[in-house]
Amino acid sequence: MSETKPKEEKKVSIVLAEFADPGSLLQAAVKTREAGYKAFDCHSPFPVHGMDGAMGLSRSPLAKIVFFCAMSAVCGMIALTYYVSVVAYPLVISGKPFFSYIAYAPPIFAVGVLTGALTTVLGMLALNKLPMPYHPLFNSANFARVTDDGFYVTVQSNDPQYDEQKVKSFLASIGGKNVEVIQG
């Protein structure tokens, strides 16, 4: 008989380093990107201007997704109003044409705006991988300061260049304090 071993779950580890202020966090992001790390993130209690460029992030695809969904809804609403007024129930009222687009502009606009708003919220949640009720960083007492006055860079173990000791020394060399490894 062959014994089957249970699959070992790969533990995720994250190296966390604290920085003094937004300026040093921005410089750390640039140096981390230039060092070739891909799976890293920056955390701060408020948005830091220029962080997307410093991290090498591209523009969000959310605007294109919202535009496509809203325009699809607008086209669908135009088709529905056309079908109802011309094909299904063609009524001549006060001599108006069957498809009087002016009368249908408000509901078409409303459906476009509503679809755009809902797509924005749902797309943002999906692209940000939210809701996320648990993350290994929540185990760090030091990281709890991120909502108050802490500025952090994290490098995850799924990065192609990840070597725990090298990452720790790299983050310390660029000014990181309280460097710690968090297992998840």
CA separation for the pair 49, 28 (Å, rounded):
14
Residues 82 and 172 in one domain: no
More confident residue, 25 or 11: 25
- Which are the contacts of 40, defined by CB distance < 8 A and separation ≥ 6? 29, 32, 33, 55, 153, 154, 155, 156, 159
Residues 145 and 120 in one domain: no
Per the listing, tokens 């062959």 go with 2
Q: Tell me which H or E stretch contains 140.
A: none
Helix (H, G, I), strand (E, B) or coil at 156: strand
| Global pTM value | 0.75
> pLDDT-based confidence at 101, cuts 50/70/90?
confident
Q: What is the dihedral of CA 156, 157, 163, 164, to 10 degrees?
A: 70
Tell me the pLDDT of the chain averaged across its residues: 91
CATH number at residue 49: 3.30.70
> pLDDT-based confidence at 11, cuts 50/70/90?
confident
Per the listing, tokens 């380093």 go with 17
Which tokens sit at 125? 């949640």
**137 and 180 in contact (C-beta within 8 Å)?**
no
> pLDDT-based confidence at 43, cuts 50/70/90?
very high
CA separation for the pair 132, 128 (Å, rounded):
9
Residue 153 domain-assigned? yes
Instruction: Give Dmax over CA atoms of the chain in angstroms.
Output: 86
Residues 121 and 145 in one domain: no
Domain range holding 163? 13-57+134-183
| Count of beta carbons in the 10 Å neighbourhood of residue 143 | 22
Residue 8 domain-assigned? no
- Which among 82, 111, 127 is the end of a domain? 127
